[in-house]
Amino acid sequence: MRVVMDVPAMFMGECGYRECNRYDAGGRRETPGRYNTAMMNDPQPACDLTVKKCVPCEGGVPKYSRAEAEAQLANLPGWRLTRDGERIRRDWTFKNFREAIKFLNNCGAIAEREQHHPDLHLEGYRTAWVEIFTHAIGGLSENDFILAAKIDAVAPQG
């Protein structure tokens, strides 16, 4: 049985998330991806997702269930399920057209670097939204949540 101990604030991770510094019963720091594997896709803190890389998917990977996706979204505020739980989406309203386009360009750069491409949308002149899913499996995979966390890292706060 694995026990995860709480960590004093002075040991917070570089990203500022307390969850990034989890230690097992032997005092060893757990690294992203080493959490309990009882569920197929355990929710991960956003800071763990931002340090991961998207893995090319040609299919054959099981989709996240609705329950697994909802559990993961609890760690990604602002994102919601769409299309019967097959995709995730987040909306932003910017001050002006220039800021919206700048944000979408940043999303595109992240997507290209990760080789995982979301649907990017601009409505009106300042409302942008991003919808993500794994095309090869027609649903959600870990890659989608990794990309969402990385997009959140460049998104305006508030």
> Does residue 73 sit in the same domain as residue 136?
yes
Is the model's pTM score more than 0.85?
Answer: no
> Does residue 75 sit in the same domain as residue 127?
yes
For residue 106, pLDDT over 70 is answered with yes
Provide the 8-state DSSP code for 51.
T
Distance CA 129, CA 157 (A): 15
* Per-residue pLDDT at 20: 40
Q: Kindly report the number of other CB atoms within 10 A of residue 119's CB atom.
A: 12
* Per-residue pLDDT at 157: 81
Total of domains in the chain: 2
Provide the 8-state DSSP code for 30.
P
> Does residue 26 sit in the same domain as residue 46?
no
For residue 61, pLDDT over 50 is answered with yes
> Which of 14-18, 96-100, 138-142: highest mean pLDDT?
96-100
For residue 33, pLDDT over 50 is answered with no
Pairing of strands 119-123, 87-93: unpaired
Distance CA 75, CA 45 (A): 6
